[in-house]
Amino acid sequence: MVRPDYLGGTAANVLSWLWNLDARAGGYTRRGVRGWARREDVEAGLKIPIPELLPRLRDRGLLEEDHVHVPGTRPVAVYRITGLGDLLLARTQGREALPPWPAGLTDVEDDAVYLPPGPSSALRLLRDVVDCPSTQVGIGSGWRTEDELRDQFNPEPEGWDETDTGPWLVGDPPWKHPVSSGGAESNTPVPHGFDRAALAWLERAGLVERTTFTPPKRKRPIVFWRISQVGAQVDEIVWHQPQG
């Protein structure tokens, strides 16, 4: 049994990382305050795996937990240090306790959700063209094929020099930025590439619609995608880089 006042080395590092994230106004915003992070963010920041540690610290009252996943998809939890967590950390570090600002003291509704990088990029592209005519006559506005979305995501920039050799990812057009999913994994979040699996993820979540259309003089139907009414209203949770 773990003593209530015991804080091991890894646990202390986790609490210290989350305390600094909150103190520097970084992380995700939830319940009116910043300082929230996913397990993957903490692991990226500390460069160590902590598969079960955060729930254990939550059970001890040292962290608070909230969920930011799209209903019906795999749960995504975010964590933030509590006043009790800071008190125990302060004792370990030999400093005065500086408890974080309490979460939940706001009238703002928490409806923002976390989307994986690929689905996030695909949803943004479909949102951009929701009122634009489709490329095929006979199908409504906002519908795009996977190839059209990929071309939309990877336009050749003005002034691109074809002699520029990188560094680029294998299979990417030379002007595409290296992939990053945002969060603590990267200091400079940039759009992430996507594939058919990302569109399928969005369809299962009810955020996009799929239809098929067979143009004249074509035997096989073409698959088109469009953002759904639910997807158009989705508000994505945003990662803030720590200040200072």
Specify the higher pLDDT residue, 160 or 8. Answer: 8
CATH of the domain at 142: 1.10.10
> What integer pLDDT is reported at residue 3 of this predicted model?
53
Q: What is the pLDDT of residues 72-114, one digit of tens each?
A: 899 999 999 999 999 999 888 888 887 777 776 555 557 889 9
Q: What is the pLDDT of residues 136-173, one digit of tens each?
A: 777 888 999 988 888 877 655 555 455 544 443 333 43
Looking at the structure, do residues 208 and 127 belong to the same domain, yes or no? yes
Quote the pLDDT of residue 155: 53
Q: Which of 220, 190, 205 is nearest to 70 (CA)?
A: 205
Q: 0.85 exceeded by the pTM?
A: no
On whether residue 15 sits in a domain, the answer given is: yes
| CA 207/CA 189 separation, integer angstroms | 23
CB 113 within 8 Å of CB 235: yes
The domain boundary residue, chosen from 64, 85, 107: 107
Residues with Cβ within 8 Å of residue 13, at least 6 apart in sequence: 46, 48
Tabulate helix, strand, coil % of the chain (nearest 5). Answer: 30, 15, 55
Residue 220: give the domain boundaries. Answer: 117-232
What pLDDT was estimated at residue 178? 37
Residues 164 and 97 in one domain: no
CA distances from 128 to 107, 116, 190, 199 (A): 30, 18, 17, 15
The answer to whether residue 243 is domain-embedded is no
The reply to whether 16 and 98 lie within a common domain is yes
